[in-house]
Amino acid sequence: MRAVQSNRLSRKALLRSSEVAGTLDPCAVLAVNVASFAGGLVLALSMSSVALKLLGSVLITAGIVRLFLVGHEACHGSFFPAKILNQVIGRIAFLPSMTAFSLWDVGHNVAHHGFNNLKGRDQVWTPYSKEEFDQLPRHRRIMERVYRSGFGWGLYYFVELWWKKLYFATRKEIGSGRVKYKLDSVLVSLGASAWTTEVALVAYRTGQNFWFLAMFAMFIPFALWNTIMGFVVFVQHTHPSIAWYHSRRQWQEARAYLTATANVRFPLRIDRLMHGIMEHHAHHMNPRISMFALRRAQRRVQRHAGADALSYRITWRTYVDCVRRCKLYDYTNHAWLNWHGEVTARIARGDTAPAS
C-alpha cells in the first residue's frame, strides 16, 4: 500500500479553495445536456436513415451520461447553491438514466464515498477472495468471470447496481427500506412510461414499427449508458496498484479515499466531456467541490499527494493488463490474484499514517 505523505491537504481547505459555481453556469450545462438528449430523440424518432437514427442514439446516450452527472452532482449538494434546486433538478436529471435519487444517495454518497474500497461497505466492483469465489454457485462464478472479462461492464452495472440497488431496491440489498426509496422509484417509472409513450405515439403517427423506434430511442442508449457507467466505475477503483481492505483500521490508516482511487485520462481527452468526474481524488476528498472547480482541485491534490494519488492515461495495453491481473483479491496479504488464486500484482507497502 502506498505510503501517505505527511504534507496533507485538508478536505475543508480543498473545498474552501474551490469557487462556488453560482446558478448561471449550472443552468447552461443543464440546458446543453437536455438539448443533446432531446435532439437525439428527434433524430432517432423522425429520421428515415438508419445512420441518422444511430447518430440520434449516440446523442441520447451522451445526454443520459451528462444528465446523470448533473444528478450525481446535485445529489452531493454541489450543483446549485440552493438545496431545494439540487433535490428537484437532481431527480429530473436522473430520469433518463432511470436512477432513483434517494437510492443513489444511500448507495453512492453514504456507502461508496463513506467507505470506498472497504469490503462489506462499498458495493461497487468489490473483488472476491479466492475462498469466497470458490464457494459461489456455478452460475454466479460464471457471471463474475463475465463481469471481469474486460467487456462485462454494462451487464455488471445493469444487474448488480441498477437492477438490485437503484430501482425498487429491497431491504435485503441495501439494508433498509424507506418510503422515499419507493417514491423515487415510482418517479423513475413515470419517467420511463413517458419516454415509452412518446416513442409509441411517434410510431403510431408515422407508421413506423414501435420496436424498431424503441431500439434506437431507448434500448441502444440505455445499454450504452450502462456500459459507459460500468466501465468508468471499474477503472476509478480497480488497478494493480490499488488496494482493497477488509480491515477498517488498515483502511483508515491508508486514507483509501485518496490512495484507493485513480485519476484516469482517456484518449482524445474524452474525460473532458464528463463534467470532471474523472478528477477522482479531488472528488473523493470532498464531494461538495463543484464540477466547475474539480480540475483545479485535482491539480492541487496531485501536488500535495504525489505518488500516493495514482494518475495515469489509459491505453488498450494498460487496460488489458489491469483486467488480466485484477480478478480476485487476497485481503490478508494485499495482492491481486487470477482465477486460479495465483498472485498477479502485490500492492506496494509503506508506512501508513495514523487515521486523521
State the pLDDT confidence band at 303, using cuts at 50, 70 and 90. confident
pLDDT of the residue at 200: 98
Question: pLDDT for 106-128, tens place per residue?
Answer: 999 999 999 999 999 998 999 99
pLDDT of the residue at 20: 60
Question: pLDDT for 3-19, tens place per residue?
Answer: 444 356 666 666 665 65
Question: pLDDT for 63-122, tens place per residue?
Answer: 999 999 999 999 999 999 999 999 999 999 999 999 999 999 999 999 999 999 999 999
d(CA 119, CA 128): 9
- Global pTM? 0.91
Q: Among all chains, which residue has been given the C-alpha cell 448533473? A: 70
Chain CA centroid to CA 266, Å: 15
Question: pLDDT for 123-142, tens place per residue?
Answer: 899 999 999 999 999 999 99
State the pLDDT confidence band at 271, using cuts at 50, 70 and 90. confident
* DSSP letters spanning 229-271: HHHHHHHHH--TT---BS-HHHHHHHTHHHHT-EEEEPGGGGG
The residue ranges of every structural domain in the chain are 20-346
Percent of the chain scoring above 70 in pLDDT: 92
Which distant-in-sequence residues (6+ apart) come within 8 Å of 292 by Cβ? 19, 21, 25, 276
CA distances from 326 to 238, 265, 318, 344 (A): 7, 19, 12, 8
115-124, 169-178, 199-208, range with the lowest pLDDT: 169-178
Question: Bigger pLDDT: 349 or 170?
Answer: 170
Give the mean model confidence (pLDDT) for residues 186-197: 98
Q: Is the pLDDT assigned to residue 2 strictly greater than 90?
A: no
Q: Which residues pair with 301 in a beta bridge?
A: none
Averaged pLDDT score across all residues of the chain? 91
Q: Which residues pair with 311 in a beta bridge?
A: 263
pLDDT of the residue at 18: 63
Question: Bigger pLDDT: 94 or 270?
Answer: 94
State the pLDDT confidence band at 272, using cuts at 50, 70 and 90. confident
